[in-house]
Structure 1
Amino acid sequence: MSTDLEALFRAFNSTIGRQAMGDAEFGEIFRQMMAALVSFDYVVVFAYRGKERPIDLYSTFDPKEHIIFVTLYQAGPYLLDPFYHTAHGRHAGVFRMRELAPDRFFSSEYYRTYYVQTGLAEEIGFFVTAADDITIVLSLMRKEKTGPFPPAEFALLKKAEPLIATMVRHYWAGLGTRFDAQLHSRARGTRNRNAGESALQPAEAVWRDLNLTSRETAIVDLVLQGHSSESIGLKLNISTGTVKVHRRNVYRKLGISSQTQLLSLYLKNLS
């Protein structure tokens, strides 16, 4: 598509002199700016901090789509998302999903069970690092029928990244207090359910009662993210054979025989 400079300048002009904007207002300006540059079907913006539940700042989904892309995602699948791991690693820039995905991501059980429900052909994200260990990810999504982003459009988004990052850090500053409020809310809820139990983040609680070692837990998490045994070995600096031995031991401990059962157990423990 050709760049709509008039629409781009109109959207940018609406920010002049504005010291603050709400989530929806700034999200809509971002959408308008991106629509002047490239074509896409959806926009969604999440803020990430550590292993905490991501905060949804803006999206363009209808109610049914919102359940899949936001509600279900926040319930736990985000922990297996390549975008989450890139944000957690504090990487900044513009990236395609396929650049970030592990080598077996598109054949993983997570992909087949959750990600295919999105019906996406491609997702591109602006990764903006901010204060308080927060990374804000602004995603542009295209459906299968629309197809992937052409190289020229991706190149254009990379050129826009410095401006977008500056605007995001200004208009979505101070998100740390919102994450703190979310943590306190979770802690109160846990105390109400069990006064003797401390609140844990989902990623910390998943395998706590299943008698897995720290090495086994690391391997299982990487398996579910979509890493092959070879990729896991490289990440953990151990041999492929050792990875396979640990995987067999995990399956035996958990009484399972497939990655489908492993993911099912994972999601069950998240809830």
Structure 2
Amino acid sequence: MNSQDALTVAQLITAVGSPDLGHSLCALLDDAVSFDMSGLYLFRFDQPAQLLYNGYKGQVAARTLDAYSRGGYLLDPFYVASMNRHPGGLWRMSELAPDSFFSSGFAICPDLHPCVSSTHGTQIDEIGYIVHLQKRTALVFSLMKAQEHGPFSSIEVAHLQLLTPLISAALELHGRQLPREADHSYAENQLESAFVGALSQLTEAQRYVAKLLLQGHSNASIARQLDISEGTVKVHKHNLYQRLEISSHSELFRLFISYIAQTPR
């Protein structure tokens, strides 16, 4: 470690617990990793996503970030992984995403998902650190690279992996200084209130299937998740479509997003 590296780490330590942490994390990575945007989010079960550091550099409209924080985050693989106690550490979006995620409504909606470029349906490569705090609460610091700049290289990923202990420790210490949430009973729920509200006509089983569909799971993936047959998934899917008076996944997505847009924050 040279003197500049030592200074950067010192600045990172100093920034823990302050709004400057995200900027210091980016400064730590700038020389070795190329990225176009970054963000630090606090995820808590059934609570609006909280953007603690906005490193989108004006490339994402405020309305998109607002829509994401209001409810779009519920379909984000990083949020889902955080709530399901997926192992912490460095993960690529593609490693966390369900099998049909990249063709889902969320993944191709530039007005809802910060990691979709202004070109409709064009994905941005995203990689991020997940750090679990208390139950169903996590910090996620992610880096994004636009499609025209290619994916993160193996050398860049190796460098990010090397820094995992340092960055995870900084995020964990930062999390300890954030206001603590009481261990509410909602933390035991399987469905966030937005899914319950938007899908109120459905049975509990149908709501859960609809949630997985919205998050980007195929019929086969849902069958594995719920330990039921694919045929049973298809029956649930047919019945929930009938109850909601819709006929396609895109209509289900629009119904859910419409509900989110009308729900007070």
Larger radius of gyration: 1
Post-superposition shift, 1:61? Answer: 2.1
CA–CA distance in structure 1, aligned partners of residues 132 and 94 of structure 2: 21
For the 8 Å contact 2:15–2:24, the answer to whether it is kept is no
Residues 235-260 of structure 1: CA deviation (Å, up to 9, x unaligned) = 00111111111111111111111111
The equivalent position to 1:206 in structure 2, one of 198, 201, 204, is: 198
Task: Give yes or no for the alignment of 1:95 onto 2:91.
Answer: yes
Return closer, same or farther for 1:41/1:65 CA change in 2, 3 Å cut-off.
Answer: same
- 1:228 aligns with one of 218, 225, 241: 218
Q: Is the 8 A contact 2:17 2:177 kept in 1?
A: no
> Which of 124, 148, 152 is the aligned partner of 2:151?
148
**What is the total number of aligned residue pairs between the two structures?**
245
Q: CA RMSD in A?
A: 2.4
Structure 1 partner of 2:11:
14
SS of the residue corresponding to residue 138 of structure 1 reads: strand
CA-CA distance at 1:20 after TM superposition: 5.3
**Structure with more helix by fraction:** 1
Q: Which runs of 5+ in 2 are unaligned?
A: 185-191
Partner of 2:257: 267
- Structure 1 pair 132/223, CA: closer, same or farther in 2 (3 Å)? closer
Q: CA deviation at 1:89?
A: 1.5
TM-score by length of 2: 0.84
- Matches for 1:76-155 after TM superposition, within 5 Å: 76-91=71-86, 92-113=88-109, 114-115=112-113, 116-117=116-117, 119-131=122-134, 133-155=136-158
3-state SS of the aligned residue for 2:150?
Answer: coil
Of residues 166-175 and 217-226 in structure 1, the stretch that sits farther from structure 2 once superposed is: 166-175
Task: Quickly say closer, same or farther: Cα 1:251–1:131, change in 2 above 3 A.
Answer: closer
Instruction: State how far apart, in whole Å, the 1-side matches of 2:250 and 2:242 are.
Output: 15
User: What is the distance in 1 between the residues matched to 2:135 and 2:230?
Assistant: 37
Moved more, 231-240 or 165-174: 165-174
- Specify the alignment match of 1:253 in structure 2: 243
Identity percentage of aligned residues: 32
What do residues 88-146 of structure 1 show as CA deviations (whole Å, max 9, x unaligned)?
A: 12230100000011101111122223443465430001001123542100000001111
Partner of 2:38 in structure 1? Answer: 43
